[in-house]
């Protein structure tokens, strides 16, 4: 039996994870949040007080790190060295650490291998930065989401406030997004790029529900 992949790439806050979850629910296939894996690597560095830009130290860290992904009741759990870190990887500071370590080739190689291994023998929708360009260049459908940085910061702030964050400002979230945009698009190893065969969707002024309908209409075709 032939299995297929759906790739959803784009910058942070463009709506990837909500849309990927929606597609997975609608089609009854697995959803893999690949950003969560880089977040676990970033968290590991922070926990061990390792400079997230020190390639040599991160390489050493990657020799012993253990990341596992499980799915329970439709939600993904990320385990770092045997501990469920699904909540910790969303803490402020982890985003930037994840972006830093994700620029290091040995981190990318390990995570790409893990993503391909988890996807084996399944139909799967993955969201990330390099799914259509590197992880699954032959994915059946490739989407590239974009949205204005201010709108993405507004959405991220709302999400953080809903989860109880009180001491974070719009400017801080916007700065974090702009830092990551720059780093994720300019790194040498698998930078965030729209591949030629990806369908680009600008989500700045359309709702998630409308975007999901658009995505599903392409998938049905
Ligand atoms: O999607 P996210 O915001 O949770 O991702 C966190 C960081 O991980 C992001 O700034 C870049 C990196 N990342 C990546 O390099 N490749 C992926 N496929 C997914 C995420």
Question: For residue range 24-33, what is the model confidence (pLDDT) as tens digits?
Answer: 999 999 999 9
pLDDT at residue 160, rounded to an integer: 85
Phi, psi of 100 (to 5 degrees): -60, -55
Number of residues in the chain: 221
Q: Quote the CA–CA distance of 141 and 123 in Å, as a whole number.
A: 12
* Smallest CA separation from ligand 1 atom 10, residue: 99
User: Which atom of ligand 1 is least distant from the CA of 103?
Assistant: 15
pLDDT (mean) for 155-183: 91
pLDDT at residue 221, rounded to an integer: 63
pLDDT at residue 74, rounded to an integer: 79
Q: Is the pLDDT of residue 37 over 90?
A: yes
Q: Quote the CA–CA distance of 73 and 217 in Å, as a whole number.
A: 26
* Smallest CA separation from ligand 1 atom 11, residue: 99
Q: Quote the CA–CA distance of 144 and 14 in Å, as a whole number.
A: 9
Q: Residues 171, 177, 180, CA angle at the centre, nearest 5°?
A: 140
User: Which atom of ligand 1 is least distant from the CA of 38?
Assistant: 8
129 lines ligand 1 (CB under 6 A): yes
145 pLDDT band, cuts 50/70/90, is very high
Which of 106, 128, 198 has most ligand 1 atoms within 8 Å of CB, for mutation? 128
Q: Is the pLDDT of residue 114 over 80?
A: yes
Q: Which domains does the chain have, with CATH numbers?
A: 5-216 (3.40.50.300)
Q: Quote the CA–CA distance of 44 and 133 in Å, as a whole number.
A: 27
- pTM of the predicted protein model: 0.96
Q: Quote the CA–CA distance of 41 and 58 in Å, as a whole number.
A: 9
pLDDT (mean) for 81-109: 95
Which strand (E) or helix (H) includes residue 113? helix 105-119
Q: Quote the CA–CA distance of 116 and 208 in Å, as a whole number.
A: 28
73 pLDDT band, cuts 50/70/90, is confident
Q: Within 13 Å, how many C-alpha atoms sit on residue 214's CB side?
A: 15
User: What mean pLDDT is reported for the chain?
Assistant: 95
Give me the percent of the chain exceeding a pLDDT of 90.
89
pLDDT (mean) for 156-174: 89
1 pLDDT band, cuts 50/70/90, is confident
pLDDT (mean) for 105-121: 98
Tokens 């994870």, residue? 17
Nearest alpha-carbon partner for 211 in 221, 198, 201, 200: 201
CB 57 within 8 A of CB 48: no
Nearest alpha-carbon partner for 190 in 114, 132, 138, 139: 132
Nearest alpha-carbon partner for 98 in 146, 143, 43: 43
Nearest alpha-carbon partner for 117 in 99, 135, 144, 91: 135
60 pLDDT band, cuts 50/70/90, is very high
pLDDT per residue as tens digits for the range 186-197: 999 999 999 999
Which of 76, 95, 98 has most ligand 1 atoms within 8 Å of CB, for mutation? 98
Q: Is the pLDDT of residue 89 over 90?
A: yes
pLDDT (mean) for 172-185: 95
């Amino acid at each position: 039996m032939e299995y297929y992949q759906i790739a959803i790439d784009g910058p942070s806050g463009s709506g990837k994870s909500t849309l990927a979850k929606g597609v997975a629910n609608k089609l009854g296939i697995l959803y893999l949040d690949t950003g969560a894996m880089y977040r676990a690597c970033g968290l590991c560095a922070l926990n061990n007080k390792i400079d997230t830009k020190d390639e040599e130290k991160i390489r050493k860290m990657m020799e012993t790190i253990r990341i596992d992904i499980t799915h329970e009741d439709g939600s993904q759990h990320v385990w770092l060295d045997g501990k469920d870190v699904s909540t910790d990887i969303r803490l402020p500071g982890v985003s930037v650490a994840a972006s830093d370590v994700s620029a290091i080739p040995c981190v990318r190689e390990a995570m790409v291998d893990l993503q391909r291994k988890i996807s084996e023998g399944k139909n799967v929708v993955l969201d990330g930065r390099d799914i259509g360009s590197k992880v699954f260049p032959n994915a059946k459908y490739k989407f590239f989401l974009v949205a204005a940085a201010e709108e993405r910061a507004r959405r991220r702030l709302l999400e953080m406030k809903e989860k109880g964050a009180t001491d974070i400002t719009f400017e801080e979230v916007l700065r974090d997004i702009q830092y990551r945009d720059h780093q994720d698009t300019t790194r040498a190893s698998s930078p965030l790029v729209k591949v030629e065969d990806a369908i680009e969707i600008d989500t700045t002024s359309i709702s998630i529900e409308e975007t999901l309908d658009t995505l599903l209409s392409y998938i049905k075709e």
